[in-house]
Amino acid sequence: MFLDRVKISIKAGNGGNGSTSFLRNAMTAKGGPDGGEGGRGGNIIFKSTQSMNTLYDFRFHKKFVAENGENGAKKLQSGANGKDTIIKVPCGTVIIDAKTNKIIADLNEDNMEFIALRGGKGGHGNAYYKSSIKQAPHFSQTGELTVAHEVILELKTIADVGLVGFPNAGKSTLLSCISNANPKVANYPFTTLYPNLGVCEVKGQTFVVADIPGLIEGASEGLGLGHYFLKHVERVRLILHLVDISQSDGRDFISDYFTINDELQKYNEQLAKTPQIIVFTKIDLVDDAVLKARLDKFKKEVGDKFLCISGATFQGIEQLKLATLEQLSKLPKKPPLKVEDYDFDNRDYSSIKITRDDEGAFVVSGGKIDNFIRGVVLSDTRSFAYFQNRLQEMGIIALLKEKGLKNGGIVKIKDITFEYTE
Ligand SMILES: Nc1nc2c(ncn2[C@@H]2O[C@H](COP(=O)(O)OP(=O)(O)OP(=O)(O)O)[C@@H](O)[C@H]2O)c(=O)[nH]1
Ligand SMILES: [Mg+2]
């Protein structure tokens, strides 16, 4: 089965909590703080591999969560970092942020790695907070919590050469003649229902060929299998445009040629501009005289650059392989898609709500407030000062003031209640 677009959910590991602990043993009655640091959560990493060519593995497995960091422990023991989760995807997989539809990565080569989400930071243990004024801090920091994000994986196959033409033109036959691939071949349209890849070897060099389902007139309006699979030849450097010159399906071969080019144009101008080799197929089915007359007609009406092959007698196949290699040697590799900046951790403060409770205190909730107040320790001046600065920076103080907060007003955020002083 073939699957080339799928939405999955990814979540990096939470950071482990720091520990609050004091050294106690037979020799030490009142030791100092010895709470260790929490471990970092695991990252979510995508890795491309040539050993996959569909996203089928994601059909049922759509949720990926990296391991959480372990909590710190006494005796200054740091918690272990969470294991990264490595998600293998086929070469040519494009990763899109499902919320914004922005392309955030294009794994267009083998063995590329992309860290999509970083694990949450571990919290500090109480040993970290020890200072000359605070010899015995009774608090530690909680680990950073991470949130799940949805991404779309879209496969845009990586191949050097794409085979394009009407159904039955002989695309899969050609692929099986020139490569190691063994695609289904049959005498009816739409035999090929999803792309096939093959590796062709010529003069000690190799190139990858993609065979896709046939196109028909009106594909842009969804006729036949539509344009859907053209994304798998979007990145090729060279198109072999196959035209059945035997007219075995009863159409005119010259109008076939123009129809396909028209469909490419309607799909994407860039694809229409991709260099082509025109390949007339099934020449074994036409008399020499008829073939000559048709080729002369094509030369007169269109041009004289084309090759003729037969997948039955192998006539012209070797020349076609050589011509393809020669053309490819002149064509640069296509660059990866343009990637946009993304910031999954961009906190959503717009959804923060401020209400008043019975005693008139200002209650702040919503948004990502949970993460925001992590590790705030009211009794610790350093931690509390940081918290107030963040409230200021994020515009939450301004929002509170808008709602009527004045000097001496009471603010409640989760378990934290404090008096606001200007
Ligand atoms: N005689 C002869 N028959 C051919 C040649 N090439 C293909 N055929 C036959 O034409 C039919 C269609 O060939 P395919 O290779 O399946 O065509 P396709 O372009 O892949 O077709 P779709 O996958 O349906 O788009 C099959 O019966 C092939 O055996 C050829 O050069 N000579
Ligand atoms: Mg086919």
The predicted structure's pLDDT at residue 246: 97
Rounded to 5°, angle at Cα 396 from 394 and 398: 105
Ligand 1 lined by 146 (C-beta under 6 Å): no
CA–centroid distance, 146 to ligand 1, in Å, is 53
Specify if 368 maps to a domain.
yes
pLDDT surpassing 80 at residue 382: no
- Ligand 1 contacts CB of residue 186 (under 6 A): yes
Highest mean pLDDT (candidates 141-145, 293-297, 379-383, 405-409): 293-297
- The lowest-confidence range among 78-87, 138-147, 223-232, 249-258 is 138-147
Residue with tokens 């993304």: 342
**409 is in which domain, residue-wise?**
353-419
Give me the pLDDT at residue 347, please: 46
pLDDT tens-place string over residues 244-285: 999 999 999 999 999 999 999 999 999 999 999 999 999 999
* pLDDT reported for residue 328: 96
> What pLDDT sits at residue 24?
80
Confirm if 231 and 210 have CB atoms less than 8 A apart. no
Q: Tens digit of pLDDT for each residue in 367-378? A: 667 666 766 666
- DSSP code at position 23: -
Q: What is the CATH number of the domain that holds 401?
A: 3.30.300.350
Separation of 172 CA from ligand 2 center, angstroms?
4
Q: Is residue 232's pLDDT more than 60?
A: yes
Q: For residue range 97-132, list pLDDT tens digits in order.
A: 999 999 999 999 999 999 999 999 998 888 888 877
Q: Is the CB of 260 under 6 A from ligand 1?
A: no
Does ligand 1 lie within 6 Å of residue 191's CB atom?
yes
| Boundary (domain end) residue, out of 269, 296, 330 | 330
321 Cβ below 6 A of ligand 1: no
Query: Is any atom of ligand 1 closer than 6 Å to the C-beta of 282?
Result: yes
Same domain (yes/no): 301, 388: no
User: Do both 106 and 249 map to the same domain?
Assistant: no
Q: Are 172 and 42 found together in one domain?
A: no
Ligand 2 centre distance from Cα of residue 291 (Å): 24
Asked whether residue 345 carries a pLDDT value surpassing 60, the answer given is no
Q: Residue 265: which residues within 8 A CB-CB, separation 6 or more?
A: 272
Q: Is 185 in the pocket of ligand 1 (CB under 6 A)?
A: yes
Same domain, 285 and 391: no
Two tokens, residue 415: 């378990």
User: How many of the other CB atoms lie within 10 Å of CB of 185?
Assistant: 16
Give yes or no for residue 225 having a pLDDT over 70. Answer: yes
Percent of the chain with pLDDT over 90: 65
Distance from Cα 84 to the centre of ligand 2, integer Å: 41
Q: Is the domain of 273 the same as that of 297?
A: yes
CATH of residue 135's domain is 2.70.210.12
Q: Which pLDDT band holds residue 394 (cuts at 50, 70, 90)?
A: confident
- pLDDT tens track for 160-192: 999 999 999 999 999 999 998 999 999 999 999
Q: Is the CB of residue 181 below 6 angstroms from any atom belonging to ligand 1? A: no
Same domain, 249 and 166: yes
Q: Which atom of ligand 1 is nearest to the CA of 189?
A: 24
Is the domain of 382 the same as that of 313?
no
Distance linking the first and last C-alpha atoms of the chain: 65
Question: Are 143 and 180 members of one domain?
Answer: no
pLDDT of residue 28: 67
Can you tell me the mean pLDDT for 50-55? Answer: 90
Crossing angle between the packed helical segments 317-330 and 171-178, to the nearest 10 degrees: 90
Rounded to two decimals, the pTM is 0.79
How far away, in angstroms, is 165 Cα from ligand 2 center? 10
- The SS3 of residue 266 is helix
Beta strands in 26-92 (DSSP E): 44-49, 63-65, 85-90
CA 278 / ligand 2 centre spacing (Å): 17
Taking the centre of ligand 1 as the mean of its atom positions, its distance from the CA of residue 191, in whole angstroms, is: 9
* Confidence bin at 287 (pLDDT 50/70/90): very high
**Residues β-bridged to residue 308:** 280
Q: Ligand 1 pocket, 169 CB below 6 A?
A: yes
Task: Report DSSP letters for 115-182, one per residue.
Answer: EEEPPPPPPPPGGGG--SS-SS-----PPPP---EEEEEEE----SEEEEESTTSSHHHHHHHHSS--
> Ligand 1: which of 163, 172, 239 to mutate, most ligand atoms within 8 Å of CB?
172
Is 149 in the same domain as 12?
A: yes
At residue 392 the predicted structure's pLDDT band, cuts being 50, 70 and 90, is confident
Q: Which residues contact 205 (CB under 8 A, 6 or more apart)?
A: 325
Longest dimension (CA), the chain: 107
